[in-house]
Structure formats: structure tokens, C-alpha cells
Amino acid sequence: MFFLTPRHIKQGRQFARDARKLLHYRRDLATPETIAEVEQAIGTLETAVKTKDKARIEERAMALDKVCGKLTKPQADMWIRENVEMFLVAIVIALGVRTYFLQPFTIPTGSMYPALNGIILHRTNEPPPNFLVRGLQVAVFGRHYVDFVAEESERIAGVQPVRSPLPFIGKVPRFGGGLFQRTEIVTEAASGRRRRYLIKQAPDTVQSQFPEVADRSRVYQPGEPILRGYFDAGDHVFVDKMSFHFRKPRRGETIVFSTAKIAQIKARSATSQYYIKRLAGVPGDALQIRSPELFVNGQRAQERQFLAVMSGTREQDHRGFRGYGNFVEQRGYDQQVWAQRLTYLADPEETFSVPEGQYFALGDNSYNSWDSRGWGTVPEESLMGRALLIYWPFWPHFGLAK
């Protein structure tokens, strides 16, 4: 019986099995001579095990160990091979996860505020804190400061898009490409001198939250801040791409979708984008907005997410929620708006029926959200998934998406 087998015999058998595994793993890197030598040593050990002679087994095991050392002999470029292999495996795993399971997504605008934060500019009167405080705030809040002060009488002369190859670097000298969008503000003084100031945000974001950038007539005096404050990063979200393969989307869920097949957006923008909104209507629903409330099939919406939005009004918010509205405010807008009047649900008495295979999406920040009220419904095939987890910044929304 196995538990009565002497220890030296069990160890000999195990050593022979381990040696075969090592040989199998390293066979493509070993010479034919080394392979033959190892196989012979393994056979010799297995023969010794059959004799049950402890001294002979230990002798053959030591000989096999010495021979196996040739299989693990370090090579000059071994570290390169191992790191490349690890890197490629990591890429394959990451691509697989991103393709089939989780997709990272960054909230670009304030259309889902206060449930989700977009990129927000906070104006301040004080200069930025010291670099230690700024470093901590980058990690916790995704915050970075801007402090552009006039050195002489000067005005804004232009705004230029810039790209950087690195996320935490403004731009790399003499390198014009990259994935990360930046904005360069150019000023001109009466003397003709020009200065440039780089902001680590996309031009659309800067222009929407800093509308003064379009004013070419205003002259800033020496010491006067042109722009002073800080940008808080938009929430970074993992999107669950699996759930909708097994069930239908549900009212109240925060969904991410492509705009490629939404005609009213595609007609004005050649670039396909991804939007994030709350699912307000599924196929067959009849929707109505009588501010500040949303009605579904003639009944006041009962899902907890809608109840939170409807807890406030446009005039008196509740924890940032202002209810649903029949119009949008373009003042301080951080999304591109192509119409002064909404296309759907622009009147309290109007009802919209969601067609089959389509979904109706609304932003929680209703008066500052360009959503299905403006451009129509979302085709089912355009859905990417539902917002699952906010993984950065660590405040205020870190955790499961609501």
C-alpha cells in the first residue's frame, strides 16, 4: 500500500517525475546530447527505485540532479526571453479581458452628475499648494492644478490642440503624436511677445469649462490670473461587457454605448464616440417628463436611481440632483449641443414610445445632458455594457457604480 511505501522510494519516484517535467519544459532549448544524457539519468534512477536500495537511489538521484543542471544553465539572453514572454502573456490576458469581460471608460462630461463625475474645473483665488500636497491629490482625487498668470498686459491669442504619448506628462519636446489630448493656450502682449501655457485636458473640455478662452478682446493686466484653479479627473469606470449577453438591460442601469449608429449624432460627427447615460426606457415603454418627474407607462418612475434624481428641482437641488427637465441649459455646457430645443419630451404633455430593439437614455444631470431627448434612441446592437465599478479617483465615488 502507498502509505506503507518507504520514504526514500517515494522521493525517488517523485524526483524522476519532476525531472521528466523539467525536460519536457526545456526540451526546445537543450541540445540533443543533453536531452539524451538526462533521459538516461532518469532511467537509471527509475531502475534504482525498483531495487529499493536506499543508498543506490540517493546516489542516482544526486547524479540526475547534476545532469538536470545542464537544462537550467543560465543563458546570456535568458532575462530578455523571460521578460518578453511575461510581457506578451500579460498583453494577451489584458486584451482578452478588455474584449470579452471588462472595458475601462472615462467619464468625459458632467451629464451624469452627481452620480458620476465628469472632468470638472474648480476656479480658485489662491495659488496651488506645494508639490507634496499636489502629488497626494493627484492620487486621491485625480486633481491637477492650473495657474496661468499674466506677466504683462496680454490677451488670449489662440488655443491649440496638443498630444502627449504619456498620461502624466504634458507633452514631449519634438514629439507631436500620442494618445493623450492636451490644450495649449497662447497669449500675446502689446509688445508682440507670445507665451504658451499647457493644460492637461482636451480642447473641448477647456473651451466648455473656460469659455473666456474664446474672448480675444479681453486684456489681462500684470499679475492678474488668466486661469487659476484645478481640474478634477472624470470618474474612471470598468464596464461590464458580459451581462447583456445573458439578459436584457434593465431600467435604471447606467449603460455605455456607441454613437456610431445613432443617425442624429453621426450626421454631425464623423467620429464614433462612447456615451454613458442611465437607461430610462426599454422597448415598449411610454415615457413622459413633467418636471421634475419622469413617468413610465403613465406611472411615476419607481426605480431608486430615478427617485434620487427626482428628489430635487431645477431651482432647489437635493445633494446635487435637480430632477428631469423638458429643456437643456447651454450655459456652462460640457457637451456639444446641436439644437436649442429638444427633439423628444420637450413638452410636459408629450409622450414618447420606445420602439422595439431600441432604448431611451437620459443623463442624471438632466438640464446639462445631451441625451435621447435630443438625438433619439440607442439601438440594441450599440450597447457596450453597464457601468460596474469606479476604480479611480478614490474619492468621492470609488466602488460599485450606482
What is residue 64's predicted lDDT score, i.e. its pLDDT?
85
Tell me what the mean pLDDT of segment 22-49 comes to: 86
- Can you give the CATH number for the domain in which 350 is found? 2.10.109.10
Q: pLDDT (tens digit, 9 = 90+) per residue, 202-223? A: 888 888 888 888 899 999 999 9
Highest mean pLDDT among 23-27, 96-100, 177-181, 398-402: 398-402
Q: Is residue 100 part of a domain?
A: no
Residue 74: cis peptide before it, omega within 30 degrees of 0? no
What is residue 335's predicted lDDT score, i.e. its pLDDT?
60
Supply the mean pLDDT for the chain: 88
Residues 243 and 200 in one domain: no
What's the rounded Cα separation, in Å, for the pair 145 and 159?
A: 18
Q: End of a domain among 214, 232, 250? A: 232
Residues 252 and 353 in one domain: yes
Q: Is residue 156 part of a domain?
A: yes
What is residue 336's predicted lDDT score, i.e. its pLDDT?
62
- Can you give the CATH number for the domain in which 16 is found? 1.20.1270.10
What is residue 1's predicted lDDT score, i.e. its pLDDT?
46
Tell me what the mean pLDDT of segment 168-187 comes to: 79
Residues 203 and 144 in one domain: yes
Residues 159 and 305 in one domain: no
Alpha carbon 336 to its chain's center: 21
pLDDT category at 15 given cuts 50, 70, 90 is confident
**SS3 category, 139:** helix
Task: Determine contact, residues 352/286, Cβ cutoff 8 Å.
Answer: yes
H helices present in 319-378, as ranges: 372-375
Q: Is residue 110 part of a domain?
A: no
- The total domain count for the chain is 3
46: alpha, beta or left, given left = phi > 0 and alpha = psi -120 to 50?
Answer: alpha
Residues 345 and 220 in one domain: no
Domain hosting residue 194, numbered range: 120-232
Q: End of a domain among 232, 263, 285? A: 232
Grid cell 466602488 in the structure block, residue = 399
Percent of the chain scoring above 90 in pLDDT: 51
Residues 216 and 282 in one domain: no
Question: Among 202, 118, 369, 329, which Cα is nearest to 213's?
Answer: 202
Task: Determine contact, residues 233/142, Cβ cutoff 8 Å.
Answer: yes
Residues 177 and 275 in one domain: no
Q: Is residue 396 part of a domain?
A: yes
Q: Is pLDDT of 179 > 80?
A: no
What is residue 95's predicted lDDT score, i.e. its pLDDT?
66
Q: Which of 2-16, 88-102, 341-355 shows the lowest per-residue confidence on average (mean pLDDT)?
A: 88-102
Residues 396 and 256 in one domain: yes
Q: Which residue has the higher pLDDT, 30 or 100?
A: 30
Residues 60 and 145 in one domain: no
Residues 202 and 252 in one domain: no
Q: Is pLDDT of 3 > 80?
A: no
Q: Is residue 249 part of a domain?
A: yes
Helix and strand totals (H; E) in the chain: 9, 18
Task: Determine contact, residues 187/155, Cβ cutoff 8 Å.
Answer: yes
Residues 158 and 142 in one domain: yes
What is residue 78's predicted lDDT score, i.e. its pLDDT?
59
Q: Is residue 86 part of a domain?
A: no
Q: Is residue 76 part of a domain?
A: no
pLDDT category at 304 given cuts 50, 70, 90 is very high
Q: Is residue 337 part of a domain?
A: yes
Q: End of a domain among 232, 262, 290? A: 232
Q: Is pLDDT of 139 > 60?
A: yes
Q: Which of 174-183, 231-240, 285-294, 358-367 shows the lowest per-residue confidence on average (mean pLDDT)?
A: 174-183
Q: pLDDT (tens digit, 9 = 90+) per residue, 51-93? A: 888 888 888 888 888 888 887 766 556 567 667 767 777 776 7
Residues 283 and 389 in one domain: yes
Q: Is pLDDT of 259 > 90?
A: yes
